[in-house]
């Protein structure tokens, strides 16, 4: 495999240092591989990122309209150790593997975490994953947040990886999530919600709905059921989210923006014990939420065309015990 080269223009307004700015800029382009800020810093040091034809430093600033040349080196042999971490396999053939990812497990390694990830488990199970994903992300075509569970497809061959990447870039696949949220929406018909999503201007660790910049995000929400105690307003809801795009934290950001943050979400609107939305939860629901490793979000359905055979594939991932317990408690209301 050869290096990947990209030429683009700086389209964001920002006075931030180059490494942080470029991390946000590259997220605007689906065709550019996911790059962490530390990876961008290394590419800058290696002269793999030029601005207006010249090398830069991580602390430099970049003006809007500047020409950015990015070279992503071809994948190299990984140094991640296989680990016998159990996998819930929904499907496997010579080209693909579809797993039901457990909550609490990170999908791919990083510079600070090189063990205990899904990739460590995959390397133990498969031994030889596709390399297009780069040094630390073999076989990974899309991601699910650490504390989100559900269906995830992994490529076992470079040919399958390339085909799956095209499907995801063109959004030619079906992804449906189950979300369990605070309160109950006023809309009863399916809601199409479109916005731009990017880094929060007030908290760089969070994503947010933006009025300027960011990347287009499109979700379709369907209210499946509301939950309430007798004689009281609904305290929670079961919502299906169909993703038309796949932005970072998309379901969590959109539902929080709509006023229905996810039960157990430690990042987007976690309630204090005194907040009305938490106090409205029955004690049994509070107990079930506290047992969750994170947000009550599950990638329930994944459907796509096999990149090699062309066969139509569709998978429905069962709930894991912690989320199943919450679901059972909610259903009692």
Instruction: List the pLDDT tens digit at each of the 333 positions of the chain.
Output: 567 888 888 877 666 788 888 888 887 776 777 677 778 888 999 999 999 999 988 888 888 888 999 988 876 655 778 889 999 999 999 999 999 999 998 887 776 777 888 888 888 888 666 554 455 556 677 788 889 999 999 888 878 887 888 888 777 889 999 999 999 999 889 999 999 888 887 887 788 898 877 788 999 999 999 999 998 999 999 999 999 988 889 999 999 999 999 999 999 978 788 889 999 999 999 999 999 999 999 999 999 999 999 999 999 999 999 999 999 999 999
Q: Which of 22, 53, 72 lies at the terminal end of a domain, its last residue?
A: 72
Outline where DSSP puts E strands in 119-234: 149-155, 174-182, 191-199, 207-210, 215-227
Surface-to-core class of residue 285, CB atoms within 10 Å of its CB (0-12 exposed, 13-18 middle, 19+ buried)? buried
- Within a domain: 317: no
- Within a domain: 11: yes
Are residue 47 and residue 125 in the same domain, yes or no? no
Are residue 56 and residue 19 in the same domain, yes or no? yes
- Find the catalytic residue in 3, 30, 88, 145: 145
- Within a domain: 63: yes
- Within a domain: 264: yes
pLDDT at position 132: 46
Q: Domain of 42: which CATH number?
A: 3.10.290.10
Are residue 84 and residue 63 in the same domain, yes or no? no
Are residue 151 and residue 196 in the same domain, yes or no? no
- Within a domain: 112: yes
Are residue 191 and residue 259 in the same domain, yes or no? yes
For residues 186 and 165, give the distance between their C-alpha atoms in angstroms, rounded to a whole number: 37
3-state SS track over 18-64? HHHHHHHHHCCCCCCCCCCHHHHHHHHHCCCEEECCEECCCCCECCC
- Within a domain: 318: no
Q: Which domain holds residue 15?
A: 4-72
- Rg from Cα positions in the chain: 21
**Which residues neighbour 54 within 8 Å (Cβ) at sequence distance 6 or greater?**
none
Q: Which of 140, 155, 170 lies at the terminal end of a domain, its last residue?
A: 170
Are residue 63 and residue 86 in the same domain, yes or no? no
For residues 29 and 23, give the distance between their C-alpha atoms in angstroms, rounded to a whole number: 11
Are residue 133 and residue 226 in the same domain, yes or no? no
CB atoms within 10 A of CB 178: 22
Are residue 162 and residue 239 in the same domain, yes or no? no
Cα atoms in the Cβ-side hemisphere of radius 13 Å centred on 279:
5
Are residue 151 and residue 192 in the same domain, yes or no? no
The torsion angles phi and psi of 315, rounded to 5 degrees, stand at -130, 145
pLDDT at position 90: 96
Q: Give the number of domains in the chain.
A: 3
Q: For the residues of 5-19, what is the DSSP string, one character each? A: EEEEE--S---SBHH
- Is 158 annotated in the active site? no
**Which residues neighbour 321 within 8 Å (Cβ) at sequence distance 6 or greater?**
none
- Within a domain: 316: no
For residues 25 and 53, give the distance between their C-alpha atoms in angstroms, rounded to a whole number: 18
For residues 255 and 162, give the distance between their C-alpha atoms in angstroms, rounded to a whole number: 32
Are residue 65 and residue 95 in the same domain, yes or no? no
Which H or E element spans position 236?
A: strand 236-243
Surface-to-core class of residue 305, CB atoms within 10 Å of its CB (0-12 exposed, 13-18 middle, 19+ buried)? middle
Of the candidates 127, 124, 132, which has an alpha carbon nearest to the alpha carbon of residue 94? 127
C-alpha distance from residue 253 to each of 42, 203, 219, 243, 298 (Å):
30, 13, 11, 13, 15
Q: Which of 43, 72, 101 lies at the terminal end of a domain, its last residue?
A: 72
Q: For the residues of 92-125, what is the DSSP string, one character each? A: E-SSEEEEEEPTT--SS--SS--SSSHHHHHHHH
For residues 130 and 122, give the distance between their C-alpha atoms in angstroms, rounded to a whole number: 11
For residues 327 and 332, give the distance between their C-alpha atoms in angstroms, rounded to a whole number: 9
Of the candidates 283, 293, 284, 290, which has an alpha carbon nearest to the alpha carbon of residue 320? 293
Q: Domain of 147: which CATH number?
A: 3.30.2350.10
pLDDT at position 20: 84
Are residue 156 and residue 190 in the same domain, yes or no? no
- Within a domain: 311: no
Are residue 83 and residue 65 in the same domain, yes or no? no
């Amino acid at each position: 495999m050869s290096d990947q080269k990209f030429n683009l223009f700086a389209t964001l307004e920002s006075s931030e240092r180059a490494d942080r700015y470029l991390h946000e800029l590259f997220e605007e382009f689906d065709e550019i591989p996911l790059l962490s800020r530390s990876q961008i810093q290394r590419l800058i040091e290696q002269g793999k990122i030029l601005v207006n034809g010249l090398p830069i430093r991580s602390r430099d600033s970049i003006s809007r309209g500047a020409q950015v040349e990015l070279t992503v080196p071809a994948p190299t042999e990984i140094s991640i150790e296989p680990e016998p971490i159990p996998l819930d396999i929904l499907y496997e053939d010579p080209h693909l593997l579809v797993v039901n990812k457990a909550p609490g497990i990170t999908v791919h390694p990083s510079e600070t975490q090189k063990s205990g990830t899904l990739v460590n488990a995959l390397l133990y199970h498969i031994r030889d994953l596709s390399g297009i994903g780069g040094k630390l992300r073999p076989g990974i075509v899309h991601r699910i947040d650490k504390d989100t569970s559900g269906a995830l497809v992994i490529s076992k061959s470079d040919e399958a990886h390339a085909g799956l990447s095209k499907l995801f870039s063109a959004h030619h696949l079906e992804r449906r999530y189950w979300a369990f949220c605070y309160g109950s929406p006023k809309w009863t018909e399916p809601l199409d919600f479109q916005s731009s999503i990017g880094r929060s201007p007030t908290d760089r660790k969070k994503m947010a709905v933006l009025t300027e910049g960011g990347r287009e995000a499109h979700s379709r929400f369907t209210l499946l059921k509301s939950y309430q105690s007798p004689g009281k307003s609904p305290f929670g809801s079961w919502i299906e989210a169909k993703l038309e795009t796949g932005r970072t934290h998309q379901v969590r950001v959109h539902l929080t923006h709509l006023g229905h943050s996810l039960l157990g979400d430690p990042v987007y609107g976690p309630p204090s014990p005194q907040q009305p939305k938490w106090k409205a939860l029955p004690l049994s629901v509070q107990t079930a939420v506290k047992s969750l490793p994170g947000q009550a979000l599950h990638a329930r359905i994944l459907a796509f065309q096999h990149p090699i055979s062309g066969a139509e594939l569709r998978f429905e991932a069962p709930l894991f015990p912690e989320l199943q317990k919450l679901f059972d408690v909610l259903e009692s209301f």
